[in-house]
Amino acid sequence: MSVASGQVVDTEAAQEFMREASRLIQAPELEGIAEELGVKSRRFGELLSADTLPGLSGDQLRRLLRTVFSSRRHCEEVLAQIGEERFRESLWSLLHGPDPVATRIDRFDLELAAVDPGIRRDVAGEVLHFFDPERYWLWTRWIWDPLVGTGALPLVTMAEHDLAADSPGATYLRVGQGIAFVNQTGRAVGFTRFGEEVFGIDVYLACVYGVYLYTITRIRMTQEFNKVIPPLPQLARRLLGVHRMEV
């Protein structure tokens, strides 16, 4: 997504998050995660092609859902609420329909209305991005959750960059603009240069959210509770759906 210049990125905060992350994860590990995202994307591309998608089995759909962080433990619930055939049809329309992406996201959101809003929108954002990462960006609740107003993206953008919108599709476009600005700045400064450009920004935002989680956990919980959160390399992989990848 191309962008014009503007004061959207809080560059000082963005660099500080990366400095803090660098104490917890080394550059080769970051490169490795970006490579794993490339593998995930290639597998999504194969599974979700216009020719292959209509014939996916229930087991393949479950593995797909288990490769999305928020739906990993809810795949049976999602398929029970929607049905395998309807889910395949909704995925096909989302990925291959002729309408603009915001319209397709809104339709997908409506068709999966029985599913938790966060889960269905995470699934939409993940399948779009990893099916065609050059065209679509990643949107998940840990990047921006409009219901509670938290996520990695507002931590590294200026308060004036409003991410709120009237529909999931419109929100997706605003998130995309913010991500494009952060990636543009990160490539220039150096904090999103991990592997391919389309996946470096994903790795960076996962690190930002990980550092944020560690910070609020240290403030609110005892050291014993801190041990529940995995080390940053594993946490980033979990957020990005490549920890024990099943597709």
pLDDT in tens, 91-150: 999 999 999 999 999 999 999 999 999 999 999 999 999 999 999 999 999 999 999 999
> Distances in Å between the alpha carbon of 216 and those of 12, 180, 219, 220?
20, 27, 5, 6
DSSP state at residue 160: T
pLDDT lower than 50: segments of the chain: 1-5
Give residue 229's pLDDT: 82
- Residue 146 placed within a domain: yes
For residue 158, tell me if it sits in a domain. Answer: yes
> In this structure, are residues 155 and 144 in contact, taking their beta carbons and an 8 Å threshold?
no
pLDDT of residue 5: 41
Q: Residue 100: inside a domain, yes or no?
A: yes
pLDDT at 159: 85
Q: Domain residues for 122?
A: 11-240
pLDDT of residue 244: 85
The reply to whether 4 falls in a domain is: no
pLDDT of residue 3: 42
Would you state the pLDDT for residue 223?
A: 57
pLDDT value at residue 4: 44
pTM score of the predicted model: 0.92
Residue 145 lies in a domain: yes
- The string over 152-186, giving b where at least 16 C-beta atoms fall within 10 Å of a residue's C-beta and e elsewhere, is bbbbbbbeebebeeeebbebbbbbbbbbbbbbbbb
In a domain, 245, yes or no: no
How many domains are contained in the chain?
A: 1
Asked, for residue 246, whether it belongs to a domain, the answer is no
Residue 3 lies in a domain: no
For residue 119, the model assigns a pLDDT of 97
